[in-house]
Amino acid sequence: MFEATQEVLVAIWHQDFSVLLAPGSAILIYILVTLFIGLESSFLPAAPLPCDSIVVLTGTLAAVGVLNPVIAFPLLIIAASLGSWLAYSQGRWLNRLPIVQSWLDKIPDASMRTVDTLLTRHGLIALFSARFIPGVRCVLPMAMGMRAKEMPRFHYFAWLSATMWVGLLCGIGFLLPSLPEPISRLATMALMAAPVITLCLAILSFITWRARQAMCRLKPIQKDA
């Protein structure tokens, strides 16, 4: 059993269809992809897991008959939603720690009110967009747990954004086998590279934002000098 699990695990990571199409591997695939999505959505150390490509792969396996879409798609939605709830719960727990409260107290009230307004007004768009960025997929629900007070509203956003995310990526994966081989191969490569590109863009945006903040702080000092 352990060897079979390890073989399917490696096959999912490398998207080795010769192993994944083998009879009897469906149950292990259901368990492992659900576990991957749940872990990556809830815990920051699991951010390197290639969850976007795994969701696309699930759609492709459903299209070729290895998985049942009626079972696979709801499992992914449940895993993504519960993962976001776990991250949200971590944020609520962190918010009780004195050191975290001391960090938050240093932020101006106007900035915190802006954050609260954005999370309230654009929670669905924010959660849906964050699901395409590794790491942010977990960090944003955690931040909402630290600031947002309406748990039912968060659950609504989490489940709806998870449904949209799984539906979009699984739908793309479901269509891939019907495309010509060269186009299908290029589309698969692009989908595998997309999470890395979005992560790099997010890091670059954060660095740019921090650099602008540092420059804004230096300007008053230079004027006084």
Residue 50 in tokens: 């290639």
What span, in angstroms and rounded, lies between the C-alpha atoms of 50 and 196? 9
For tokens 């956003």, the residue is: 157
CA within 13 Å, CB half, 182: 0
Instruction: Write the DSSP symbol of residue 67.
Output: S
Amino acid 81: pLDDT = 92
Cα(222)–Cα(51) distance, rounded to whole angstroms?
Answer: 47
DSSP letters of 158-212? HHHHHHHHHHHHHHHHHHGGGS-HHHHHHHHHHHHHHHHHHHHHHHHHHHHHHHH
**The predicted structure's pLDDT at residue 119:** 65
Instruction: Give the number of other CB atoms < 10 A from CB of residue 110.
Output: 8
Whether 25 and 65 have beta carbons less than 8 Å apart is answered as no
* Predicted local distance difference test score (pLDDT) of residue 217: 66
135 and 42 Cβ atoms separated by less than 8 Å? no
Q: What single letter denotes the amino acid at residue 43?
A: F
Assess contact for 62 and 72: CB atoms under 8 A. Answer: yes
Amino acid 146: pLDDT: 76
Q: Give the position of tokens 């993962």.
A: 83
pLDDT at 34: 92
- DSSP character for 148? -
| pLDDT, position 2 | 65
Neighbouring residues of 144: CB distance < 8 A, sequence distance ≥ 6: 88, 91, 119, 123, 127, 154
**pLDDT value, residue 111:** 55
- The pLDDT score that the predictor gives to residue 78 is 94
Q: Over its length of 225 residues, how does the chain's per-residue pLDDT go in tens digits?
A: 566 677 777 777 666 777 777 777 888 889 989 998 998 888 877 766 777 888 888 888 888 888 899 999 999 999 999 988 888 888 888 777 776 666 556 656 665 565 566 566 666 677 777 777 766 777 778 877 776 666 777 888 889 889 988 998 898 888 877 777 666 666 666 666 656 666 666 667 667 766 776 677 666 655 555
